[in-house]
């Protein structure tokens, strides 16, 4: 079982990153691939899922993220891809608060989470996530910034939303607000888009 890999990011797609170490490129699925833009050597914590038809690696920026992912996939009805989509907004504090407050309406805003799954999340996780809650101040600071509109970056962010499971209709609703952002990094567009999705 892998714990983490330290290597160079050689490719970023809406679905995954490629992390190269010792001449081997590992395809690692992550919630927000574009958070790794501009990084060279980096440490990515891993969880491996082995199935008959595939061996998959899921990546996280730190151990806290990995622990949250493991808690989410322990819930009936939530698989690894759904868990990554839930975590992609990086508002872990908001997620934990919603579970503790039994706010099923908030939880159903995540792609692939219906009322039944939201209720199961509350049932299985309430009272078990307090130690994972952390300040979102640093993420907020990173999200505010930058200069002019990047069409390529916006397109990449919209593709990433689709990869996370949001419908074309949902994406079209937030696109005008994203176009008004005038950001220059895909990560900024994607973080903002995920926040807008949660306010619907």
Distance CA 141, CA 193 (A): 16
| Domains of the chain, residue spans | 4-60, 63-134, 138-198
Is 0.75 surpassed by the pTM of this model? Answer: no
pLDDT per residue as tens digits for the range 115-156 = 999 999 999 999 888 667 543 333 333 344 333 345 788 888
Which pLDDT score is estimated for 130?
Answer: 65
pLDDT per residue as tens digits for the range 94-114 = 888 899 999 999 999 998 899
CATH fold group of domain 4-60: OB fold (Dihydrolipoamide Acetyltransferase, E2P) (2.40.50)
Residue tagged 């819930």 (tokens): 75
Q: For domain 63-134, give the CATH superfamily.
A: 5' to 3' exonuclease, C-terminal subdomain (1.10.150.20)
Which pLDDT score is estimated for 183?
Answer: 78
Task: Determine the angle formed by the axes of helices 63-73 and 80-87, rounding to 10 degrees.
Answer: 130
Residue 96: beta bridge partners?
none
Distance CA 152, CA 185 (A): 9
Distance CA 199, CA 182 (A): 20
Which pLDDT score is estimated for 99?
Answer: 93
Residue 41: Cβ-neighbour burial (10 angstroms; 0-12, 13-18, 19+): exposed
Distance CA 107, CA 195 (A): 13
């Amino acid at each position: 079982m892998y714990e983490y890999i330290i290597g160079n990011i050689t490719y970023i797609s809406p679905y995954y990153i490629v992390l190269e170490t010792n001449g081997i490129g590992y395809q690692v699925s992550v919630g927000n691939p574009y958070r790794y833009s501009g990084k060279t050597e980096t440490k990515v914590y891993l969880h491996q899922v082995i199935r008959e038809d595939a061996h998959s690696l899921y990546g996280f920026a730190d151990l806290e993220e990995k622990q949250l992912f493991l808690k989410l996939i322990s819930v009936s009805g939530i698989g690894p891809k759904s868990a990554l989509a839930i975590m992609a907004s990086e508002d872990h504090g908001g997620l934990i608060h919603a579970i503790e407050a039994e706010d099923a309406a908030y939880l159903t805003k995540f792609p692939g989470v219906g009322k039944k799954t939201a209720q199961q999340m509350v049932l299985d996780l309430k009272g078990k996530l307090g130690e994972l809650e952390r300040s979102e101040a640093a993420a907020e600071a990173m999200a505010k910034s930058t200069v002019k509109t990047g069409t390529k970056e916006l397109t990449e962010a919209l593709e990433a939303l689709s990869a996370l499971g949001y419908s074309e209709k949902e994406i079209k609703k937030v696109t005008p607000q994203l176009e008004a952002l005038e950001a220059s990094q895909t990560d900024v567009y994607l973080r903002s888009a995920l926040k807008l999705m949660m306010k619907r």
